[in-house]
Amino acid sequence: MAADDNGSGMDMTEAPPLIVKAQYIKDLSFEMPGAPAIFGRLNAEPEIEVQINVHPDELGDGDYEVVLTVEARATIGDETAFVAELEYAGLFELNSSIPEEYIGSILLVECPRILFPFARNIIASATQESGMPPLMLQPIDFNAIVQAQMVQGVGNA
């Protein structure tokens, strides 16, 4: 076994293809416009609408900021129970050896896959701290979203 081999056959002197340099809340907003009256209507199951978007931005020198935006709105009848908006971001470094045709997939699939569990936890915590039941977002298949956008001609991963 070589000195720079960890037993897996990987050369440990080679830089990993993706490095997470930082993760952070870029923006967080939580509103309960119907409080406190909305608590009297919690016997009905709220209707939840969730939108998720991914916005990558090249910063230079192989660095990218990827922002995962989560917008959740809960309504009971015609009343808004809450509105949660989160921009959760990561600073990622991509190895220069990554072929250009894979960069879009990494930024739109792998990076949000890393960020999502943290964003999910923040949304669940914010809703629970508001006095509402925690909103547990279901796992997202970012690869399927990118593939659907490519079929529709929207994305260019």
pLDDT of residue 1: 45
Q: Is the pLDDT of residue 121 over 80?
A: yes
Q: Which CATH number fits the domain that encloses residue 121?
A: 3.10.420.10
> 156: pLDDT confidence band, cut at 50, 70 and 90?
very low
Does the residue 1 lie in any domain? no
Looking at the structure of the chain, the number of domains it has is 1
Domain hosting 113: range is: 18-143
In a domain, 96, yes or no: yes
Residue 13 lies in a domain: no
| pLDDT tens profile 65-110 | 999 999 999 999 889 999 999 999 999 999 988 888 999 999 999 9
Any domain includes 131: yes
Nearest to 54 by CA among 140, 124, 138: 140
**Quick check: pTM over 0.85?**
no
**Could you read off the pLDDT of 140-154 as tens digits, one per residue?**
999 988 887 777 765
Would residue 31 count as lying in a domain? yes
